[in-house]
Amino acid sequence: GAVVSQHPSRVICKSGTSVKIECRSLDFQATTMFWYRQFPKKSLMLMATSNEGSKATYEQGVEKDKFLINHASLTLSTLTVTSAHPEDSSFYICSAKRFRDSNEKLFFGSGTQLSVL
Amino acid sequence: AQSVAQPEDQVNVAEGNPLTVKCTYSVSGNPYLFWYVQYPNRGLQFLLKYITGDNLVKGSYGFEAEFNKSQTSFHLKKPSALVSDSALYFCAVRDPYSSASKIIFGSGTRLSIRP
C-alpha cells in the first residue's frame, strides 16, 4: 500500500527558531498534500492544502507567513514553522492524495510532535 | 457548517466483547462519512466509508459502521474485540459539494481492549 513518511516524529526547539517538517510519499506521486494540526483532545484541523508546483491554499485563520508550505516535487511537501513560539507546540500531521485516486483516499503520515520551549 | 462529534474520549472493552465507538455529525445534505484508525507511532489509516447505498458499511479488520440518517450518527462497531484493536479512532465527515480538502475530523476516541 501507499506509504507517507513524515519526519521528524518529534522535535524540541527554542522559541524564535524555525522548524521544518517533511512529508514524503514513498511509492506514489502525490499531486495534493494536506497539513493538519491537532491539539490535545481536539480534532485534526486542516491548515492548508498543498498542490505540487503552486502556492498552498491556507484555511481561514492560518498565518501563511508563519507556516510556510512548499510542495516542490510530486513526492515531497514541507511545512516550516517560522519563528516558533510555545503556542505553536502541537501535533502536526500531513496526508497525501495519489493522482487519480478519489478525494477520500488519503494516506497519512505518522505525525510530528513539536514542542517549543 | 459541517461538524462531527465523538462524545467519548475513551472506550474500554474486554476482549471478545462487542465494541461501539460513537460518532454523530452535522452537515447539510447527504454526507460522506469515514472512519480512520491511528495506531501508536503510525499515520491514520482508512477503515471504511459511507457514500450512499446500504446503511451498514463493512471495512477493514472486521469493523463495520451503521449510517443512521434520522439520528445523524455513524457509529463504528465490531462484534468481537481484539487486543490489537486498541488504538485511536477518528470519525470524519465531508460535504459532497465541498472541495476534497474539506474533510472534518472528530476529536478521536481512544479504544482500549483488555485481555
pLDDT tens digits for A44-93? Answer: 888 999 888 888 999 889 999 999 999 888 899 999 999 999 999 999 99
B99-108 pLDDT per residue, tens: 655 788 898 9
Distance from CA of A49 to the nearest CA of B (A): 7
H or E segment and range at residue A50: strand A44-51
Residue with cell 507511532: B41
Note whether B9 contacts A49, CB cutoff 8 Å: no
- Could you give the CA distance from residue B104 to residue B85 in angstroms, rounded to a whole number? 23
> Is 70 exceeded by the pLDDT of residue B11?
yes
- Look at residue B98 in the predicted model and tell me its pLDDT: 67
- Cβ–Cβ pairs < 8 A, chains A and B: 53
- Could you give the CA distance from residue B32 to residue B51 in angstroms, rounded to a whole number? 5
- Could you give the CA distance from residue B82 to residue B63 in angstroms, rounded to a whole number? 11
Distance from CA of A29 to the nearest CA of B (A): 17
Distance from CA of B64 to the nearest CA of A (A): 18
- Identify the DSSP state of B96: T
Higher pLDDT, B19 or A103: B19
- Could you give the CA distance from residue A67 to residue A61 in angstroms, rounded to a whole number? 11
Q: Which residue of B has its CA nearest to A51?
A: B101
- Could you give the CA distance from residue B41 to residue B87 in angstroms, rounded to a whole number? 11
Closest CB from B44, B94, B101 relative to A108 = B44
Note whether B105 contacts A109, CB cutoff 8 Å: no
Other C-beta atoms closer than 10 Å to the C-beta of B2 total: 16
Note whether B36 contacts A107, CB cutoff 8 Å: no
SS3 B83: helix
- Could you give the CA distance from residue B19 to residue B13 in angstroms, rounded to a whole number? 7
Q: What is the mean pLDDT of residues A23-31?
A: 90
Burial A42-62 (b: 16+ CB within 10 A, else e): ebbbbbbbbbbeeebbbeeeb
- Look at residue A3 in the predicted model and tell me its pLDDT: 85
Take residue B56 and report the three cell numbers written for it.
451498514
> Is 60 exceeded by the pLDDT of residue B38?
yes
Phi, psi for residue B79 in degrees, rounded to 5: -65, -35
> Is 80 exceeded by the pLDDT of residue B79?
yes
SS3 A81: strand
- Could you give the CA distance from residue B34 to residue B13 in angstroms, rounded to a whole number? 22
| Residues above pLDDT 90, as percent of chain B | 66
* Tally of helices (H runs) and strands (E runs) in chain A: 0, 11
- Pick among B44, B45, B51, B61 to test the A interface (most A CBs inside 10 A): B44
Higher pLDDT, B40 or B107: B107
Q: Which residue of B has its CA nearest to A111?
A: B43
SS3 B46: strand
Query: Which has the closest alpha carbon to A73: A35, A33, A114?
Result: A33
